[in-house]
Structure 1
Amino acid sequence: MTWKTLDDMELAGKTVLTRVDINVPVEDGKVTDATRIERIVPTVKDILEKGGRPVLLAHFGRPEGKIVPEMSLKPLVPELEKAFGVPVRFAEDCIGLPAKKAVGALQTGEVLLLENTRFHDGEEKNDPMFAASLAALGELYCNDAFSAAHRAHGSTEGIAQLLPACAGRLMQAELKALEAALSAPARPVGAVVGGAKVSTKLDLLGNLVTKVDYLVIGGGMANTFLAAQGINVGKSLAEHDMTHTAVEIMKSAEDAGCTIVLPVDVVVAKEFAAGAANEVVAADACPADGMILDAGPETVEKINGVFGECQTLIWNGPLGAFEIEPFNAATNAAAKTAADLTKSGKLVSVAGGGDTVAALNAAGAADDFTYISTAGGAFLEWMEGKELPGVAALDET
């Protein structure tokens, strides 16, 4: 897939409709975490430096096509001005007369933020008339919201069909990282997939076993795979109705030459609580009244060995109940190994998904990974091998 970037566009004097993700947490009218705003700064500054006029399109919350004052984007203006270092104007609507007037009054060197696109039901329906109303406001379209690229909405897919389109810097970095990790990776390739349920990651597992050389399975999912091998997992979180599916996935992996890595030892406790009494036992020796809450040290050693063999690593999900100690030990140790290998230039590591980012941050490993995606659903759908409408719409071929 090929797409244009800001480097391929003539921006001087042009109004650039720029789709961004600034769906940030707000409390009492104040932004409590500006990470998503900070990540769009390179794109906005680039457009400004090249003489373009950035007009920001964004959603906020789930107003479901209705005007919900609490979901207005207006409170974000001060934080945007702080991040960009230039005046940020605001339009009370994203289409129609208020938007047209605001765009017409926008000066070079300023940024305009349009009101929540999801205040119109045409956004999520990808209504052609709504997309055309957005497109009428500008001359170029730049998508910098990979996190919304799995949605075929008016501001992500519809508008890209109507204007010359390109990827913003954040989108460009995300696509470059993902392509390096799965589309054309240096081999061997390893993947870590953790989390509670096999049922929520069937497409993901099915795609990965045909793409990677090693698949490390952790968290509650690993318990389901152990149970599928006839191992008693006690009171552990496991989907016993999915054991047949787990067997099929293991067979598919074998046929594809993918090695599945499951726990060989586990940390068990009788209660899921911080500091709960626990012990390390062999994976097939979980007590009937015990719960598997983490992978054991021998398993971590095995996983670290796999990382050492790999040149590329994709990570989604923790290896255990990382939210509470001491059941974060395996995730922390393996993450540190992946980070160290990346830092020394031996590994390209890409990670994403909500719990994953939290787990790697908690482990102090995130900063040394090659790329951390905050895209959530879009990252998962990409890992599942699905076409992302917002990315496909940028395709030049």
Structure 2
Amino acid sequence: MAHHPQIRVPATYMRGGTSKGVFFRLDDLPEAARVPGEARDRLLMRVIGSPDPYQKQIDGMGGATSSTSKTVILSKSESPDHDVDYLFGQVSIDKAFVDWSGNCGNLSAAVGPFAISNGLVDPARIPENGEVEVRIWQANIGKTIVSRVPITDGQVQETGDFELDGVTFPAAEVPVAFKDPADGEGAIFPTGRLVDDLEVPAEVVEGGILKATMINAGIPTVFVNADDLDYSGSELQEAINGDPQALERFETIRAHAALRMGLIKELGEAANRQHTPKVAFVAPPASYTASSGKAVEAEAIDLRVRALSMGKLHHAMMGTAAVAIASAAAIEGTLVNLAAGGGKRNAVTFGHPSGTLRVGAEASLVDGRWVIDEAVMSRSARVLMEGWVRVPGDSL
């Protein structure tokens, strides 16, 4: 029987927002994995423990959810306008692929702290006490992210009293600004409309037409009304994830939206593009009980949003989807804006399965096209473990 000794790769296991991932410096990866391609994907899948037909990722660092099956590769930026280049890989749990099609907004909050602690930011820019602005180039979508990282005694401050619903313990606040967050070079609304009649199979919705706002901001996202799918908008994970027919229905919506948005050329391609687009359903404010038992009062929120990631309802809200929510809410007439009561807005507080989140965005109409100048939200981040991750030598 062949024997392949394990190799060890320097790595840091971090929480960012409501996600966790394995962080690498590009220069620390085995040489074959320092460039995009099959060797890199194989390595990252083995680190996370995929593909796993049991969907548990027992033999890896993944946590068997879309929020914990994540990898990040960072390097010092060659651009004078940025400190660090940030590449995100969403590892499929049960299939053999890594999706590089989008960003992770939650882990974006951990990029700045990692970059500072690992020498990717000029030490001259780091104060003894205060905060440092870390300029991040998000390589997946070609956009700039700016985070403000607190510094105490010359080191990244990780502990604090900032509370984030979906994260059990408080930590230091890390504000994150997504500059011009429209995905890639395309229009914010790829169809040119704020609301579309999305054609779907009749078994998805009676009549085969579903009202949808499809937006490229933060991450490509399709928003639909909860009521059109016979949901209340207060659903928790089990109501969706425990219903295979519901999951299949949402995946069908997602695939048809991907085709309409020009992200794929035929429906079958959606199966290998699980990370984007996201699909979410919205509803006006109403009181409900979050997954933690916390009471969310209707008066405390502007709307309710539930979003799916990698085929399952998210336990809170993806950071990039929060950017999409903020952007759509800022534009009068989208389904998100209408669920929040309509009118001009530059911030909303929305209810999600774990609680609430406030996000802001500034929208403007330029030459007949909507532009999002910036979307902002606060997250927190913390190192959970650092050292080496080990994988069998035949992983590359």
TM-score under structure 1 normalisation?
0.25
Relative contact order, CA 8 A, sep 6+: which one is greater? 2
- Structure number with bigger Rg: 1
Higher helix proportion (structure 1 or 2): 1
Q: Normalising by structure 2, what TM-score?
A: 0.25
